[in-house]
Amino acid sequence: MSQSNLITMDEFTIRETRKFPQATGDLSALLRDIGLAGKIINNQVRRAGLVDILGKHGATNVQGEEQMKLDIFANDTLIKILKNSTECAGIASEENDEHLSYEDTFSLNSKYVVLFDPLDGSSNIDVNAPIGTIFAIYRRVSELGKSCTEADFLQPGNRLMAAGYVIFGSSTMLVYATRLGVNGFTLEPSIGEFCLSHPNMKCPENGKIYSLNQGNSIKFSDGMQSYLNYCMESNKEEGRPFSHRYIGSMVADMHRTLLKGGIFMYPADKSNVNGKLRLQYECNPMAFILEAAGGKAVSGSQNILDITPTELHQRVPIFIGSKKMVDKVMEYVKEHEPVS
Ligand code: AHM
Ligand code: MG
């Protein structure tokens, strides 16, 4: 395709919003700002092995986990870009204990708040495997003109306006979902623009790949263990055994799941009753994207998007991906331990 045929993310988003005469374009502007942060983070990620930014920072985040220097850079970049944005009233980040309200006049009158995991899968930086930035956008529930409040960030995923991720893989892509669908944009480095490359993305209804940290299986429930046996059993009719793929970087594992179908799981286990992944920064945005693409995401007892968060950093078990595969694992889990 010649460069003059490219559709930039900005052009695409504006065209989409024009489908709604009452739309103001505020969401397009916010997505553009997130795209800008993605490009700045991309620049640093691409130089990670060259500059002295690689390595542990020495600080720990609110969950007691080690932060890497690039995490801090990505976090600071998003916080600053969104502060300068005219469309964002405040943010909550996986790396910050509390939400942050922007107090300038533009921000106080902005409709949206943004939650993000600035650099997910950061333990993969050292080994040059894909990592990503995950974001989620809500319309605030607090009064316009005043500081945003924690309630703005504790809304269930079914109230999301948009969600997406930037994946720093063999190429850099920004994928975002609204209720209109899911579209993917690849960064064209020579012009510095995200360009439409994956229109109207759909997650296949069924798949042949299961993805989880199987090293934890000794701590899994009986239902999970028998589902894993089902995945590994040979059965030509159903196309099993399935392939196991696990990068250990949720954005990368989810990107593959969205494109190829399959299931990604981070279940509860005997020592982590709520699993590992965070509802507001990882599970809700990914569930919103997958559902908009025809997939499914559940915690075990309910749809991820129907959970009302009670605290900013809560964790939740997750089973997400092709609808039929999610239904199948739930059959096994519920047969062994009926959930309410
Ligand atoms: P992070 O936000 O600290 O990077 O942790 C989240 C990551 C996910 O990207 C990934 O799916 C998971 O942790 C891997 O965990 P584990 O090493 O326990 O399999
Ligand atoms: Mg993360």
266 domain residue, yes or no: yes
Pocket probe for ligand 1: among 69, 135, 282, the residue whose CB has the most ligand atoms within 8 Å is: 282
Of 143, 167, 198, which residue sits at a domain end? 198
Ligand nearest to the CA of 135: 2
303 domain residue, yes or no: yes
Question: Residue 269's domain is classified under what CATH number?
Answer: 3.40.190.80
Cα–Cα distance for residue pair 167/165, rounded to 1 Å = 6
> Do 289 and 164 share a structural domain?
no
Q: Are 284 and 312 in contact (CB under 8 A)?
A: no
The DSSP code sequence of 95-120 is TSSS-EE--SHHHHT--EEEEEEEEE
> Do 220 and 85 share a structural domain?
no
Pocket probe for ligand 1: among 69, 96, 125, 266, the residue whose CB has the most ligand atoms within 8 Å is: 266
324 domain residue, yes or no: yes
The first and second tokens of residue 265, run together, are 């799981």
> Do 187 and 321 share a structural domain?
no
> Do 126 and 161 share a structural domain?
yes
Nearest to 239 by CA among 217, 203, 214, 206: 206
> Do 220 and 285 share a structural domain?
yes
Cα–Cα distance for residue pair 172/156, rounded to 1 Å = 29
204 domain residue, yes or no: no
Cα 181 to Cα 10, 160, 232, 279, 304: the distances in Å are 16, 13, 33, 21, 18
> Do 191 and 242 share a structural domain?
no
172 domain residue, yes or no: yes
Nearest to 289 by CA among 198, 172, 203: 203
Question: Residue 145's domain is classified under what CATH number?
Answer: 3.30.540.10
Helix pair 284-292, 250-260: axis angle to 10 deg: 10
> Do 56 and 82 share a structural domain?
yes
Cα–Cα distance for residue pair 67/140, rounded to 1 Å = 29
203 domain residue, yes or no: no
> Do 161 and 20 share a structural domain?
yes
Q: Work out which ligand 1 atom sits closest to the CA atom of 213.
A: 19
> Do 215 and 190 share a structural domain?
no
pLDDT at residue number 115: 98
pLDDT at residue number 49: 72
Number of structural domains in the chain:
2
> Do 40 and 185 share a structural domain?
yes
> Are β-strands 243-244 and 263-266 bridged in parallel, bridged antiparallel, or unpaired?
unpaired
> Do 296 and 192 share a structural domain?
no
Q: How far is the CA of 237 from the centre of ligand 2 (A)?
A: 37
Averaged over successive runs of 10 residues, the pLDDT of the chain (340 residues) comes to: 83 87 84 97 85 58 67 96 96 97 96 97 89 98 97 98 97 96 97 97 97 96 96 88 96 98 97 95 98 97 96 98 97 76
> Do 184 and 63 share a structural domain?
yes
Cα 152 to Cα 62, 80, 137, 280: the distances in Å are 20, 20, 10, 12
pTM for this prediction: 0.94
27 domain residue, yes or no: yes
Helix pair 9-17, 26-46: axis angle to 10 deg: 160
Q: How far is the CA of 162 from the centre of ligand 2 (A)?
A: 18
Containing structural domain, residue 116: 3-198
Of 150, 171, 198, which residue sits at a domain end? 198
Of 198, 224, 252, which residue sits at a domain end? 198
Residue 117 Cβ contacting ligand 1 at under 6 Å: yes
pLDDT at residue number 340: 42
Residue 55 Cβ contacting ligand 1 at under 6 Å: no
Atom 6 in ligand 1: which residue has the minimum CA distance? 121
216 domain residue, yes or no: yes
